[in-house]
Chains A and B, each alone.
Chain A
């Protein structure tokens, strides 16, 4: 409860700052909108030449693409500051301040920034999911809406866990931004059906950096191409496992953290 109250205080501060720079907010929103648009236009141009891609229709691809944006956007909205841990907090000794206050350090790290740019990402995702659902005439009932929310939350947790794990490596290596960026980039593979990749890439996406379970597998459940347990079921399981590992690594990192200087 205390943490929810604290987060509210942090968030209000943010929104105040945000209102001062509305232009920045819109530029950020449009920026992400454009980034995503490029990928969609690419698919659109391609479909002038092919009836389907590896058995997937244009609408189905849009659904997967849009679906992939949602957990990513939500993770981006709330936990963007974890990047700073990977980038400079250990080198500059900035982490000290979190250890001085009687609040969970991870909570403080996350509460440090609320990233409204991500709203652009979420918006694109929602638009794509809704329009492709309408076009494909998929009706999402009560049960599936709950599954949908669960899947997106689990997906966002997987993103956060992967980010937190590789950022925590900075406690040992001082900076892990390159590594984190590399891993994060593999998430882009999951915007397309995993079936287009060869075996090795598919294995990496499913079991090493499980981004396929964030986007492609749950999306294929909603399209009606896969079963619930083997997609969203495994996704939830992976979310629990990865966040546990990541949080343990973060805590272990705290014990060896020594400030900048000596």
Chain B
């Protein structure tokens, strides 16, 4: 029984893995465009860096909301790296496929659409990990060591960070899948994506640590999955979430993975019904 289950899992992997591979190949053929995009995003990081520098200089304080300037620089860069590894943009794929109609072919195929999409996203993330995220992280770590004599966190912290990051990726993917279901109801998914992107940048803590928000919003965010997508792993990396608190965060992340999984299944079954109606 157990071996049978294992082999079927392996079979499944064999079926879906090519989707990840094709994504990697696709990304490699558009490399030039991609590097420019990365550079453009790095620019944004530098704006934030200079802003914080001016903010700390103007405040006359060493610590703002529990962050020193060095902490904050770490926060900016690590949250940039984390955001890159978490957001797979799955909702955009769904949008394209609904608009150009290729979703119909994917529905006829004897594969699970969500799992297929998951592997596509995975391929995307693997690409980004190799280039540019890992090189950026290495550069960042070296520069930090030279200028601030700061060592990277302990190996165990990095493992904890990665574990939390993987859960963040899952939460984000499942959220994106739910969000992508909107493509069945409107054709203007581009505009919705822009809204989602700016809201997420805020509530995931990518733009500014969540401790800076007013208490009311912080309390409300506790009941939403957003802070678990970026803020949590970054704070783990910085050593600001550790011990019992770490495991509490992980439990919270797992809870949201389960919730969003079922929500996605529910929304999918409804959206598909609608698609059939439109087709007929």
Contacts and interface: CB of A to CB of B under 8 A. Distances in A.
Interface of A: 21, 23-24, 27-28, 30-32, 34-35, 37-38, 41-42, 45-46, 48-54, 117, 175, 177-179, 181-182, 184-186, 188-189, 192, 196-198, 201
Contact of A45 (B57, B199, B212): B212
B36 A181 contact: yes
Interface stretch (B43-51, B89-97, B228-236): B43-51
A20 to B, nearest CB: 12
B192 A27 contact: yes
Given A38-B202, A185-B40, A50 B208 contact: no
29 contacts: A23-B186, A24-B186, A24-B191, A27-B188, A27-B192, A31-B195, A34-B194, A34-B195, A35-B197, A35-B198, A37-B198, A42-B208, A46-B55, A48-B212, A52-B58, A54-B57, A54-B58, A177-B36, A178-B35, A182-B36, A185-B43, A188-B43, A188-B47, A192-B50, A196-B54, A197-B50, A198-B50, A201-B46, A201-B50
Interface of B: 32-37, 39-41, 43-44, 46-47, 50-51, 53-55, 57-59, 61, 64-65, 186-188, 191-192, 194-195, 197-199, 201-202, 207-208, 212-213
Contacts of A53: 54-55, 58
Nearest to A192: B51
Contacts of B201: 38
B195 A30 contact: yes
Nearest to B65: A49
B32 A178 contact: yes
B203 to A, nearest CB: 10
Contacts of B44: 185, 188
A31 B191 contact: yes
Contacts of A181: 36-37, 40
A196 B198 contact: no
Given A24-B186, A38-B199, 18 more contacts: A23-B188, A31-B194, A31-B195, A38-B201, A41-B202, A46-B51, A49-B64, A54-B54, A178-B35, A181-B37, A182-B36, A185-B43, A186-B43, A188-B43, A192-B51, A196-B51, A201-B46, A201-B50
B110 to A, nearest CB: 35
Given A23-B188, A178-B37, A201-B50, A49 B59 contact: yes
Nearest to A190: B47
Contacts of B198: 34-35, 37-38
Nearest to A35: B198
Chain B interface, DSSP helix/strand/loop, else mixed: helix
Nearest to B54: A196
Contacts of B58: 50-54
A185 B202 CA distance: 19
B191 A117 contact: yes
A197 B192 CA distance: 33
A196 B50 contact: yes
A6 to B, nearest CB: 28
B55 A42 contact: no
B44, B46, B47, B208, most chain A CB atoms within 10 A: B47
A45 B187 CA distance: 35
B17 to A, nearest CB: 29
Nearest to A38: B198
Contacts of A197: 50
Contacts of B191: 24, 27-28, 30-31, 117
Nearest to B212: A45
A18 to B, nearest CB: 12
Contacts of B212: 45-46, 48
